[in-house]
Amino acid sequence: MAPVTPDHSSSMAQKEEAAAAAAPVSQNGEDLENLDDPEKLKELIELPPFEIVKGERLPVNYFKFQFRNVEYSSGRNKTFLCYVIEVQSKGAQVQASRGYLEDEHATAHAEEAFFNTILPTFDPALQYNVTWYVSSSPCAGCADRIIKTLSKTKNLRLLILVGRLFMWEEPEVQMALKKLKEAGCRLRIMKPQDFEYIWQNFVEQEEGESKAFQPWEDIQENFLYYEEKLADILK
């Protein structure tokens, strides 16, 4: 990937504006021109906005659009959070549950939704190891909520894997990510293998058929790009 030039922010903003103008998007951030299934298209358009959606597997088109680790994220106005919860009891780990949450950025974010709906079910007497696979890194507000939750929930260990860095050039966001690390939250960029794991475990498959994950062309390049940016922020 070419080195970032001083006007990188400006060029990225121009890309976002051009992409937004050129391609119509639904309220869920999908590129409507790339959807071939009329039923899926109807579903996207009719999905009520501003709500937290819970489930075990997310639609293929949502994964391909929302989790793609692009450098600019035009139209991606939702956060998708896939989670794996492991409970530790007497030295043995047993997977307790998995699922996903999605949000609209205009209301409670998926990270907050996890703490509001999933965390209350935890047994204070048990130790929980939680892994999040999130389409983009937390905003400053969500990072603050994560830090406060970890400080008062001593039986929770959290690993966050993200596809993209959200507004990583903003000083407020950079400081929030640093504070996450200081609070003991492990944060890293998703590798191609992590996207494959999501595909296999959190994405809807045709009944009786499991299709192999097909990496997009720049998946490795963009992983390295974001990995470098995160390392610079956290150093």
d(CA 127, CA 26): 40
CB atoms inside a 10 Å sphere around CB 12:
16
Answer for the pair 65, 20: CB distance below 8 angstroms, yes or no.
Answer: no
* Residues 187-223: b if buried by 16+ CB within 10 A, e if exposed: bebbbeebbbbbbeebbeeeeeeeeeeeeeeebeebb
Report the alpha-carbon distance of residue 123 to residue 85 in Å, rounded: 12
Who's near 109: CB < 8 A, 6+ residues apart? Answer: 79, 103, 138, 139, 141, 142
Distance CA 129, CA 84 (A): 8
Collapsing DSSP states into helix, strand and coil, what is residue 154? coil
Of the residues 111, 207, 209, 227, only one is catalytic, namely 111
111 is catalytic: yes
Structure tokens at 231: 């390392």
Active site residues: 111
